[in-house]
Structure 1
């Protein structure tokens, strides 16, 4: 496995620690809708505090486009962090400049301060050298605990690691170790489940996976594009007919590399897309012209679970159907619960990520049973696509 410098490799006591975290959480009226991302960074903060570090939290929130925007201030998160951490968390209304320097200069060992949104400065997303230098002046070491932002070469995700001794935080470390088990050096057979609405958003992903996994399960709306490319009629289903050639190329690449492609053999269809809509189960060769495919059928689920039974490693991104609405959640729920059961039994290493995937696993009640569930969206997808992530590459020992 590629070696990353971690908190085990550095003396923390008395040092100013610039800690990049992910606080891009859903907020409504000053309240956090989902605290998962905050919960994940607490172990790193607590460890740094316990070791006598002076912790300076760097994060972005939303897309303020390089200018201060009160609606995207991180200030409301300071008391929330304080409650969850169990100690005071200060706040600086800028992340660089005299105010920031004064607040950081007054920190004592074990103190924690949250700096204002790094994206209030255009230099953050531009990875501007002057801005990086001003940030770096506030710290003695840099720790990145925000894998979800690691696909961006920004000042606080990549630039700082070139100016200061740099380390992966515990969340970043856990993510990288899980991803290594998933695709870096996995135990075989490896099965990937890829779902979602459109092939066009996951072409790079599919092309990368067919050369790296033993079986690729394609579900959701994107499966319709592959079915249509094979000459099957998909009625009024979501389908990118113009990507038939792309689908054929992916199927050919899979055949050449010995990767089995698992497509739906039956489907749940309905005439309208709403909760409780009347539905039928049909073979994919017999989809009515006036119907939409909204979920995989029971025979498809059986084929998927049979592959999971053979697998040693599972990588999952995207649902098998329109899981948000019943009765079109059955395939995703059944596959997720089966994977969780195998994981609990020690038979499967299961790594999942992506917003819809996390929501589906939570809906199935099995997110905690998977080996690792990534809260990263774009970064997880780009990792699955085989692309180097700037914020990770710069941490390599």
Structure 2
């Protein structure tokens, strides 16, 4: 065992050497803790696709006797933390070959990535995983000093075969990028983990646009400053994750696969019955990610729901063959989730986020972050890190 660790080599990703090796490695490593159902990811020939659009990023690979046994990715950006700005490093994509798990390789990869964070003056390091992923949770919280600080909900809705009805009392308009940026900075600038470079996010080619919903007959403030925001309104931006990577469900129970096929057949034969159609997630599929979802006003719930339905219809029309689901992630205590259409079968009620202060000066801020009241726990999930 000691000799094996002495031969472990951790280095930066080299596209010419590692691209095909990592593609094969990803196919052999499942995402998620479940033994019967898990996700495969297809990076479509670009192993760093999930971090490529971040301001700073790095991928590390671990080799043992010239065999690829582990990978990890990280990104750095400036975000809002406790109403102040801080540099944060995000850890994702930690994979260890099944035959080499429980040998300390994952810990070594995380520590090496943290060294890169520290060299780049990062205040906090954080990561997200499924709360039932016992191995990952124990690694970060028991061995690496991370603490739980958020349990956001991942809400998933399938792209059905029919359009969803939008209330005729709701008006939906696409915002200019400068209008969207202004509203986000005005109303979400103090939201936890709001990115300072929101303008770069909105202008990214993967961002399909931002839409605002408000009661029909009312108006909103445009880029020229004309009009005013109505008492009730909501907004959302959409990111085409399917242009970055694909997912596929593997090892699903036979009953689940049969229901997926039969529900589609029944819906085609008897559309009047409006049978809930299970999406074909057993072949590679893409998805849209709704981010920056925000509401204002006591009666804005129907506006949020209308925006979600609008995104569903847009996905069906623009990307019917590829986009199978609409995904969003909101704070676990956020009332937004009450108005977002989703299937519980496909959703995750509690994603597990944990955090670690990398500088002494960050500890006081971390204490404040961990002791905030639930009512203030709105969260901005950056689509570049999905």
User: TM above 0.5, one fold?
Assistant: no
Q: Greater helix percent: which structure?
A: 1
The structure with the largest alpha-carbon Rg is 1
Q: Greater strand percent: which structure?
A: 2
Bigger RCO (CA 8 Å, 6+ sep): 2
